[in-house]
Structure 1
Amino acid sequence: MVDLLKLTEEALEVVRDIVLESIKSGWGLKPRSIGAYGDRSYTFDLVAERTIIDIITEKLKNVAIISEELGVTGSGNPDYYVLIDPVDGSRNASRGIPIYSTTLVISKTMNSRDIIVGGVIDHVSGELYIGEKDGTVIASGGEPKLTNVRSLKDSYLIVCMGSIRDERYRKWTEKIISNSGFSSFLASTALEICYVIAGRVDGYVCLGPYLRPFDFLAPVFLLKLAGGTYRILTVEGVTEEVDLSAGKNFGVIAAPNDELAIEILNLKEDP
């Protein structure tokens, strides 16, 4: 039987080496086509995707792949569903900003409640965040270090800039930023949520529908395993689970505890 945790770790570590080499040598920085979900792809995106798919399918013969670049491919009746964001933070990587990652999820069904394994690797530092359902989380080589910050006024938050640009969420976002101790934005959702797990920040906030499942499902799965909490936001409200291949986008609030998450939610103005 295949050890899915080890397989995920292997895929993430191999893809990191290949992406870094492609960027260092320059050939990975060439712009390519538009990916399946509408974003500009670079050569390093496509190489990362192909590397992960090859490693996964060598060990798992009957899988469906859901990836940012290719869309949905593989078996129509799979044993596992594999969700991939080959490089989260491609724009950062292409401009030499050292904040980008790869995410990988393996699930028994298309529903996020059935995720078995999730992993995120920081390409620049090599830090790996990985965990298995009903197990523990390894966060950058050690245990998770969620903070005990329970009040917005004491918090250091990462806030998605799209929430400010969008008039529908601007007032809510401004309230969050005004009431927080400090806020920032790094443009790699997966790493930003992993920083909550590592205790580097106290929360991640993206209020509007700007994220696709492969952007956030791996890190929120790990956050929950580590004892933290999250809310997936839709235009209709809050949901706890999503379809891995969902064509629509979502928002996310990630926090070390319910108190902080609820305080953020409660700042929303009623229509």
Structure 2
Amino acid sequence: MHESSLIASLQHAARLAGERLLEGYQSVGAIDFEAKGASDFVTHYDRVAERIIIESLQRAHSGLAFLGEESGATPSASGDTTVIIDPLDGTNNFLHRVPHFSVSIAVRQGRSLTHGVVYQPLLDEMMWAVAGEGAYRNERRIVVPPARGLHEMLVATCLPYHDKGDCSTSLAHLTTLMPRVAGIRVPGSAALEVAYAGLGRFDAFWSQGARLDLWDVAAGIVIAREAGCTVTDLAGDPTPDEWASLLVAHPERHDELLEMLAAPR
């Protein structure tokens, strides 16, 4: 499978899904949804967008396995290439018409995350990367900007709510960081926030208290790494079997933040 062909297919699928999401976002009246759990919602558009992505990629490439937030795992009889899909990252924002959500598609080959696409349809902004080939915003190469001092850093995170995560851990992290950074943001689409760290829109992203799934962060991880960020879990492991925590930061700030977040005080 040619790498340039695969990343082009991922971008095309993301745009098709984004078009459908725009229809829903711009529609008149309330957006219908179902509750999957406490404060965990799914809409018709989540499901349709995921189906659009899978069908588009199946037409373009044979032998792909899929792991989707809505449809679960679809194994392949051949190969070890899995497409990891969050068709609407930021469903709660979408439901409330907060203009911050994305389509997120990653590829894992064996244990390695190799391709990532995060598409913000409202801005028509496509962030994408292939391992070893750099990261891009639309057609422009992106490189993480020079590191800021801790007191100048704008840091993003996800926070737990209801029964989704560990509130005490998040509070400990906030207590540690709030007096020492320029600001903390919780926008609500982890895929975008992780990718934005690569662009320098955020100086770092971390999560542990909130419960994030692989499809929430996989594509952003590829983009941030290729832009030059250091990405590990909060134990410092760059390739954990499960991403139960996450820290994305400039290489000159990663270890400092890791030490602070590993033992908050």
Distance 1:54 1:254 in 2: 32
Q: Is the 8 A contact 2:212 2:244 kept in 1?
A: yes
Alignment correspondent of 1:8: 10
Alignment correspondent of 1:92: 93
Distance 2:52 2:40 in 1: 20
State the Cα deviation string for residues 168-224 of structure 1 (Å, max 9, x = none): 342233111221012211011111112212221211121335111111111111111
Deviation at 1:270, TM superposition (A): 7.4
1:239 equivalenced with 2:232 (yes/no) = no
Distance 1:99 1:89 in 2: 7
- 1:139-218 pair list within 5 angstroms: 139-162=137-160, 166-208=167-209, 210-218=211-219
Alignment correspondent of 2:258: 265
Mark the runs of 5 or more structure 2 residues left unpaired by the alignment. none
Distance 2:248 2:28 in 1: 35
Distance 1:137 1:227 in 2: 9
Q: Is the 8 A contact 2:21 2:45 kept in 1?
A: yes
Secondary structure of the structure 2 residue equivalent to 1:239: coil
Distance 2:87 2:72 in 1: 12
State the Cα deviation string for residues 108-149 of structure 1 (Å, max 9, x = none): 22x1x2x33211001211100011122121124422142212
Normalised TM-score (structure 2): 0.88
Mean CA deviation greater in 216-225 or 45-54: 216-225
CA-based RMSD = 2.5
Deviation at 1:29, TM superposition (A): 2.4
Q: Is the 8 A contact 1:88 1:190 kept in 2?
A: yes
Secondary structure of the structure 1 residue equivalent to 2:42: strand
Alignment correspondent of 1:123: 121
Mean CA deviation greater in 200-209 or 88-97: 200-209
Mean CA deviation greater in 160-169 or 116-125: 160-169
Q: Is the 8 A contact 1:229 1:254 kept in 2?
A: yes
The one-letter code of the counterpart of 1:161 is L
Deviation at 1:34, TM superposition (A): 2.9
Distance 1:159 1:166 in 2: 13
Deviation at 1:91, TM superposition (A): 0.4
The one-letter code of the counterpart of 2:7 is L
The one-letter code of the counterpart of 1:93 is F
Mean CA deviation greater in 129-138 or 167-176: 167-176
Secondary structure of the structure 1 residue equivalent to 2:231: strand
Distance 2:153 2:56 in 1: 40
Mean CA deviation greater in 206-215 or 39-48: 206-215
Secondary structure of the structure 2 residue equivalent to 1:183: strand
Normalised TM-score (structure 1): 0.86
Distance 1:26 1:76 in 2: 43
